Amino acid sequence: MAEITESEWTDKYKPMTNHLTNDGISYETYGDELEYILLQDDRHVWTEMDGDDGVYIVNGYHLVNRISYYLTNVPWQDGEHIEICICKFVVCDCYDPEDEETEPSTDCEQCWGEGTYTDWSMN
């Protein structure tokens, strides 16, 4: 699987504006927007997905764990498997999930006592 950044994806594949809503580049996973996605050549379709370790955009139409869809002007090629990391879910340094005796610190300014946080720095 090829991993690229969101800016590399934007530069190379050129995401289209959602012409149905004109409020960005993502398409909903239901209704008229989904119907429009399903009419497109699959090589122009990308799926934003919730994964175990974060949120990713991957090439193609996917149903499971989908968040939204995107269309690009430039198609991906058959046989390509591309992943764009949007964010990662990180276990905080203040917490060791393997140690059943400890709890995340409620004073932690990174996770605020949750034990995990979302790292958006890959954007």
Single pTM value for the model:
0.86
Residue 92 lies in a domain: no
The more confidently predicted of residues 58 and 103 is: 58
- Gyration radius of the chain over CA positions: 18
Domain residues for the domain of 73 are 2-86
Secondary structure letter of residue 50 according to DSSP: E
The share of the chain scoring above pLDDT 70, in percent, equals 98
Residues 96, 74: Cα–Cα separation, whole Å: 44
Residue 113 lies in a domain: no
pLDDT digits 0-9 by tens, 63-94 = 999 999 999 999 999 999 999 999 999 999 99
- Determine the pLDDT at residue 123: 60
For 106, the token pair is: 């409620």
Residue 121 lies in a domain: no
Residue 99 lies in a domain: no
Residue 51 lies in a domain: yes
**How many structural domains are present in the chain?**
1
